[in-house]
């Protein structure tokens, strides 16, 4: 059901506008019902049926039908009056940048007021705009209504189908470009990435140092203890080392000394690596890695086999993405 939030209605500074909205909403519903009924009554068969089974109703309504335009113009005059009132308020409150923007933005209000044929049914757009405005200001809540859930579900399904087709079309086009040997990827590498290789090295170096400082330095002691425990456990599982304890007198001592030495060496090596990564000295290491991934244009052109392998890899990745895009998630949500 449609819920009305009385608290938001009372606390609003634009209470008068919300009252006008509710009045216009009621008049629009009455007017649309009047238009639909008159359109049905316009059929001769319906008039004959009413004359036969409900002559009193037919004789009462027929004069109204004859003057339908007059009665519809009464509604139109009210709608136009409300339209110009809101236009004046928008100009005074400077809602839009120019005073003449309002009728262009709310064009459906004006076109719906034309008392000609199917244009009258554009007043439905005015009903929708009023309901949306009241919902936006949290005066009413339409999210729990069946019609909203129905429209929302099929709107999401339509948008998913539409977006999937667009994405598949774009990805297929990218695949064709890659297969034809499009220079796009070479341009990206040579004109965009390669000239910024030093900047990328500096940025990655800084990020790695920050990550190491924030992740390793505060947990240095816990990491060292963990590494020593792991190394100690691995050494105890080593058969060759376990045989040392069978040496007379000095066997157990040698085994224990080796375990402590190896554990200390491994912990110190990893500690030093992480310390280097957390400092500015990691720049040369990161720069070498970036140079491997972003070789110079001459080096990249020389290795044609790797380029072809990279193109095939890109095509397979795009194909996998297309397969995932084809999955219809909205079907799983069907009631």
Q: Rg of the chain's alpha carbons, rounded to an integer?
A: 38
What pLDDT is stored for residue 94 in this prediction?
85
pTM of the predicted protein model: 0.48
Retrieve residue 8's tokens.
Answer: 């938001």
The Cβ of residue 31 has, within 10 Å, a number of other Cβ atoms equal to 23
* Residue 194 DSSP one-character state: G
Q: Strands of 75-191 (E only): list them.
A: 140-141
Retrieve residue 114's tokens.
Answer: 């034309």
Would the CA dihedral through 188, 191, 192, 196 be positive or negative? positive
* Residue 97 DSSP one-character state: S
Ordered alpha helix ranges (H), 67-145: 68-92, 101-105, 107-112, 123-136
Retrieve residue 203's tokens.
Answer: 């940025």
One digit per residue, pLDDT tens: the chain, 335 residues? 555 555 555 555 567 778 888 898 899 999 999 989 988 988 888 888 888 888 888 888 889 888 988 998 999 999 999 899 888 988 888 888 888 888 888 888 888 888 777 778 888 888 888 888 887 777 777 777 787 788 778 878 888 888 888 888 878 877 776 666 656 666 666 776 667 777 777 777 777 677 666 666 676 677 667 766 776 776 666 666 566 555 565 556 766 676 667 667 776 777 676 666 666 655 666 666 666 555 565 655 555 555 666 667 677 777 777 777 777 666 666 65
The Cβ of residue 304 has, within 10 Å, a number of other Cβ atoms equal to 9
Domain extent listing, the chain? 13-142, 185-302
Distance CA 41, CA 36 (A): 9
Q: How many residues in total does the chain contain?
A: 335
What pLDDT is stored for residue 295 in this prediction?
59
Distance CA 204, CA 277 (A): 11
The pairs formed by 208-215 with CB atoms below 8 angstroms and a separation of 24 or more are 208/277, 208/282, 208/286, 209/277, 209/278, 209/279, 209/280, 209/282, 212/274, 212/277, 212/278, 212/282, 213/278
Distance CA 227, CA 32 (A): 78
What pLDDT is stored for residue 150 in this prediction?
80
Distance CA 276, CA 228 (A): 20
| CA 76 vs CA 25, 103, 123: distances in Å | 14, 16, 10
């Amino acid at each position: 059901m449609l819920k009305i939030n009385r608290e938001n209605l009372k606390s609003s500074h634009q209470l008068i506008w919300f009252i006008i909205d509710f009045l216009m909403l009621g008049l629009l519903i009455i007017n649309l019902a009047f238009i639909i009924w008159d359109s049905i009554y316009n059929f001769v068969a319906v008039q004959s049926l009413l004359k036969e089974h409900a002559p009193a109703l037919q004789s009462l309504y027929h004069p109204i039908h004859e003057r339908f335009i007059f009665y519809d113009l009464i509604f139109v005059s009210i709608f136009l009056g409300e339209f110009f009132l809101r236009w004046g308020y928008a100009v005074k409150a400077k809602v839009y940048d120019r005073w003449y923007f309002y009728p262009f933005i709310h064009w459906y209000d004006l076109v719906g007021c034309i008392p000609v044929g199917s244009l009258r049914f554009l007043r439905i757009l005015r009903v929708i705009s009023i309901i949306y405005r009241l919902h936006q200001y949290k005066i009413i809540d339409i999210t729990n209504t069946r019609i909203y859930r129905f429209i929302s579900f099929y709107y999401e399904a339509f948008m998913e189908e539409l977006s999937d087709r667009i994405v598949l079309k774009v990805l297929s086009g990218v695949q064709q470009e890659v297969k034809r040997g499009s220079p796009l990827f070479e341009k990206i590498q040579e004109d965009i990435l390669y000239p910024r290789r030093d900047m990328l090295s500096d940025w990655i170096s800084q990020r790695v140092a920050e990550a190491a400082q924030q992740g390793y330095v505060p947990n240095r002691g816990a990491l060292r203890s963990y590494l020593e425990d792991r190394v100690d456990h691995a050494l105890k599982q080593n058969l060759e080392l376990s045989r040392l304890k069978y040496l007379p007198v000095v066997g157990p001592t040698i085994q224990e000394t080796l375990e402590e030495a190896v554990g200390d060496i491994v912990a110190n090596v990893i500690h030093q690596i992480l310390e280097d990564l957390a400092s500015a000295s990691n720049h040369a290491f990161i720069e070498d890695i970036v140079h491997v991934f972003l070789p110079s244009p001459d080096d990249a052109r020389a290795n044609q086999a790797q380029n072809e392998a990279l193109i095939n890899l890109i095509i397979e990745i795009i194909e996998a993405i297309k397969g995932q895009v084809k999955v219809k998630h909205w079907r799983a949500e069907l009631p």
